[in-house]
Chains A and B, each alone.
Chain A
């Protein structure tokens, strides 16, 4: 199963369309489970797969665990969740000038992410199908490493020390 998720806040038609085009081109054997935020009347309606508007946390985690591949906007929530479950993920950043989010933070942050097994980046819809095909070839029999479910202890300890130093008032 391929889990398409576009995050919590805003629609992302360009990614839904890119997935539709990719399905037209390749007729994949994978089922698609798609979470697309609050479909407005003028939102893009995928031809090749059904969508849901919202997935509660428990089901979201279940779907992630079931997925062979996650396809997502370049939101850190989706990326971190894929990493902690050891799932390969294809990301495409939202762009500020297309009003897909408030600025280009997804686009610029993706450029700073370290390369990691199981992380595949499509900068835009023209790259998407190629990246999807590469991702599906790569993930056969090759599971990405699991990221720890919590941050590095050096970081959480630094915050903890600050918290504990607040106890004397």
Chain B
């Protein structure tokens, strides 16, 4: 019955994506759509799905943008809106950064549950996106036990 559950897994290229890949057993056997910023990654998830005997995953890209690139951020945001409107996942999950933040905010407007896993690269304070996403995440996680707080984020483990 869970084969109907549709998970959208979002991460920008680089360390965020590497961490997302380490979490793949969490959605094994479920329908998954990946959203990232590098089209080359399709090969990676497609080959993995084949090796696991699973159908090819959904895969979409948005433009890469850092926080200083306002126009690119707007394009990235609109890209996420467009993908979300078409795909309507049940759950949106992200390890960061900006595309994941947008995806959780927009996904929630479409009724999805949301999971934020703050990057392991933030050992002394949450990422900027990770701090701001807290009240919009149904599951809000840090990967460092000493950063967990009663009001969130929670610590349930790490990718390392």
Binding site for B on A (CB under 8 A): 7-9, 56-58, 75-78, 80-81, 83, 102, 105-106, 108-109, 111-112, 147, 149-160, 162-164, 166-167, 169
Question: Which of the residues A56, A105, A153 comes within 8 Å of B121, measured between beta carbons?
Answer: A105
Residue-wise interface mask of B (34-56) relative to A, using a CB-CB cutoff of 8 A (1 in contact, 0 not): 00001011011000000000000
Contact of A75 among B15, B22, B41, B138 (CB under 8 A): B15
List 8 additional contacts besides A76-B19, A78-B15, A166-B90; criterion CB under 8 Å: A80-B15, A80-B159, A102-B67, A108-B123, A109-B121, A157-B26, A158-B156, A158-B157
How many angstroms from the CA of A112 to the CA of B16 in the assembled complex? 18
Known: A150-B22, A155-B156. A105 touches B4 (CB 8 A): no
Task: Looking at the assembled complex, report how far the CB atom of A83 sits from the nearest CB atom of chain B, in whole angstroms.
Answer: 8
Beyond A159-B26, A160-B25, A166-B90, whether A111 also contacts B5 by CB under 8 A is no
Bound Cα distance from A108 to B126, whole angstroms: 12
CB within 8 Å for A167 and B15 given contacts A106-B121, A112-B124: no
From known contacts A158-B156, A160-B26, A169-B90, infer whether A105 and B122 are also in contact, taking CB-CB under 8 Å.
Answer: yes
When chains A and B are docked, how far (Å) is the Cα of A108 from the Cα of B125?
9
Tell whether, in the assembled complex, residue B14 and residue A56 are in contact, meaning their CB atoms are under 8 Å apart.
Answer: no
A77 touches B123 (CB 8 A): no
- B residues contacting A by CB (< 8 A) are 1-2, 4-5, 7, 13-19, 22-28, 30, 38, 40-41, 43-44, 66-67, 90-91, 93, 111, 113, 115, 117, 119-125, 127-128, 138-139, 144, 156-160
Residues on A with beta carbons closer than 8 Å to the beta carbon of B67? 102
Q: In the assembled complex, which residues on chain A have CB atoms less than 8 Å from the CB atom of B16?
A: 77
State the CA gap A20–B16 with chains docked (Å).
29
**Contact partners of B4 in chain A: CB under 8 A:** 167
Which of A9, A57, A160 is B66 in contact with, Cβ under 8 Å?
Answer: A9
